[in-house]
Structure 1
Amino acid sequence: MNDIALDRSDAPTHPYPTLSDPVPGKRADIASPSGRIALYSAGPATGVPLLLIHSINATPSAYEVKPLFEHYAGARPVYALDLPGFGQSDRSDRAYSVKIMVDAIHAAVAEIARAHPGAVDALALSLSCEFLARAALERPDAFRTLAFVSPTGFEKVARDDPQGGNRGMPWLRAALNVPLWSRGVFNLLTSRSSIRYFLEKTFGSKTIDQGLWDYAYLTTHQPGARHAPYYFVSGYLFSKDALLLYHRLSHPVWMIHGVRGDFVDYRHKSLVERHANWSIDVFQSGAFPHFEMPDAFTRAYDGFLARHADPAGAAAPTVE
């Protein structure tokens, strides 16, 4: 197990539980422009690497991609990232921005390239799909294919501002940061009952993954756990030009989403449906179909990857 270093500002009042790594395999702590980030790896030494990126909310970590990490470790190099402010990565009190998240993805890809030169396949969940799209536009040669699971940016209010920027609300960030109640509000948001409530909205069902629930509670009860989520809640991690990012992608893109729960508004996906490089699947699930329907999910993903193998035949192998 790897313990997170204690944040002295929180130390006097909190006995923090030990946090194990969210996925099995080797952990590398990478020094990056985004601070220290944790990157987990497993699988064979050869093959096209797969990078998995968790979502952004109050409780995320690489545990959110654990079913995929464990599945693909049997056939190809697989990596999972704890984004800045989450899991075993740096949770210091600083401004968390889209740039910090995108730069963390770049740092992870650069680290992967040290062992596996060439482009990676990358898969992200929810809001992190926006970060992955931006990273792919900034450094297109670093990515072979992109997979977006329950991506944000297609919802009712179109985010197609060509000027870019984020949806940050300084007044809300300031209110959440008032010392008198800052920790107390986060404690309410991350009680076991609150976490279960939000997971039920994510899954669109009372049936959730027990391990995910348990780890979400542990990871939110670590030093500095509230800092990045408060920037999320305040809107700073939502790009105003998300739709335009997706529209500009030229990589092969697989998008998948469910039909249950709070994350089912994809009314603007028509903007990309007509693009030949996009493939879209809809599952009878909530926002985490890889937990609910892992076999069907990986079959569909493997099919997408096979369709986009390079001429040399470097398609990602499947797991029987």
Structure 2
Amino acid sequence: MKKKLLKGLAVLGAACASMEVYNRITYAKVKKLENTLSGETGYHDTVFGKVFYTKKGFGPSLLLVHDTSVGSSSFLWRNNFEELANNFTVYAIDLPGFGRSEKRPLTYTSEVYTYVIKNFVDEVIGKKCSCISSSLSSAYAIQVEHDDPGTFDRIIAISPTGIFHKSDIPGSLGKVTTKAFNIPIVGSFVYNILSSKPSLSGFMKEKIYHNKDIASSYVVNHYANSAKQDGDLSKYAPASLIGGYLNQPISEALANLETPLYVIWGANSTTNPIDNLKTFLDVNPSLNYHVFENCGEYPQEEYAYDFNVKAIEFLSREL
């Protein structure tokens, strides 16, 4: 019995040692994340860490908030930033735990991000602005406007969540999953596999883009690099996402929202299917929306020109 136990411990120890070697090799290959947006850059201090942002343009202020998928950052707006900056003063941020922003060993929650978005508007932009947001971040923007009316002039929500999809608080399984990712060595090993180039490439081609060619090696490499930008600290926000801590219910906020809202969806979205648009219309029948055909999760990438035209038109419209 004792020999079997010792043998088991030896096997476990060898497995952990192998995983740690893999983790170290993986992190050693990570390069400093490139900022693909041209403009003035800076960091804003918040209680949840420094927030990286890029600013460019003149005119009314516009905030861009990326989604919370693994490896996401303001890179999401690379096909929109320049054109929008011709019409607005554009701020593109990396949320805490993502991109070039600070990452901390904590459980991130939707409250963290609604706080950061509101704080950034108040302390950096310094006045009411418009907002374009993606997926879960659209729920955060809508919730911010509900809690503090007048924060935003207008909101464009791309494939938003928060009615049924990604609206539940974390359950027991979600909590255990998040804690599992936070286990030293093993949790990092699992995260590094999840955020590897092959894994991200397969996910993007299967779940994100209708046009698979957009998931080029350049795009995949950027996401993989972003996902491991700060070593072990990079896993905490995605672990919180997987466990459900980033979910944000917005049924009440959407029903009572008076700020102009424009919802944009891809007809071929798979992680957040177009059928979920109906749940938004059930809550707010007067909702303005547009559906891009032959398009996945990111219309701002797959149909960048048309998206930019529609966004500028909506944001410039007389109230």
Task: Give the TM-score, by structure 2 length.
Answer: 0.83
Residues 12-50 of structure 1 deviation map (CA, whole Å, 9 limit, x = unaligned): 653131212242211111111222111210112xx2111
> Quick one: which amino acid aligns to residue 151 of structure 2?
A
> Quick one: which amino acid aligns to residue 202 of structure 1?
I
Tell me, yes or no, if structure 1 residue 204 matches structure 2 residue 215. Answer: no
Q: Separation in 1 of the partners of 2:163 and 2:262?
A: 15
Equivalent residue for 2:263? Answer: 255
Q: Separation in 2 of the partners of 1:68 and 1:112?
A: 21
Alignment CA distance shift 1:152-1:158 (3 Å): closer
Alignment CA distance shift 1:212-1:97 (3 Å): same
Task: Give the TM-score, by structure 1 length.
Answer: 0.83
4+ residue stretches of structure 1 with deviation over 6 A?
none
Which sits farther off after the overlay, 80-89 or 255-264?
255-264
Alignment CA distance shift 1:102-1:280 (3 Å): same
Q: CA RMSD in A?
A: 2.2
Tell me, yes or no, if structure 1 residue 299 matches structure 2 residue 309. Answer: yes
Alpha-carbon deviation of 1:245?
Answer: 2.4
Q: Separation in 1 of the partners of 2:70 and 2:166?
A: 24
* C-alpha contact 1:130 1:245 (8 A) present in aligned 2: no
Equivalent residue for 1:179? Answer: 184
Alpha-carbon deviation of 1:74?
Answer: 2.0
Which sits farther off after the overlay, 281-290 or 17-26?
17-26
Tell me, yes or no, if structure 1 residue 32 matches structure 2 residue 46. Answer: yes
> Quick one: which amino acid aligns to residue 217 of structure 1?
A
Which has the larger Rg? 2
* Percentage of matched positions with identical amino acids: 24
Q: Separation in 2 of the partners of 1:243 and 1:197?
A: 33
Alpha-carbon deviation of 1:181?
Answer: 1.1
Q: Separation in 2 of the partners of 1:83 and 1:128?
A: 10
Q: Separation in 2 of the partners of 1:36 and 1:167?
A: 30
Q: Give the match's secondary structure for 1:238.
A: coil
* Ranges in structure 2 where 5+ consecutive residues have no aligned partner: 1-21
Residues 162-200 of structure 1 deviation map (CA, whole Å, 9 limit, x = unaligned): xxx555722112222222411111111111111112212
* Ranges in structure 1 where 5+ consecutive residues have no aligned partner: 1-9, 311-320
Q: Separation in 2 of the partners of 1:122 and 1:231?
A: 24
Alpha-carbon deviation of 1:244?
Answer: 2.5
Equivalent residue for 2:125? Answer: 113
Alpha-carbon deviation of 1:75?
Answer: 2.5
Tell me, yes or no, if structure 1 residue 215 matches structure 2 residue 229. Answer: no
Q: Give the match's secondary structure for 2:189.
A: helix
Aligned length: 287
Equivalent residue for 2:198? Answer: 193
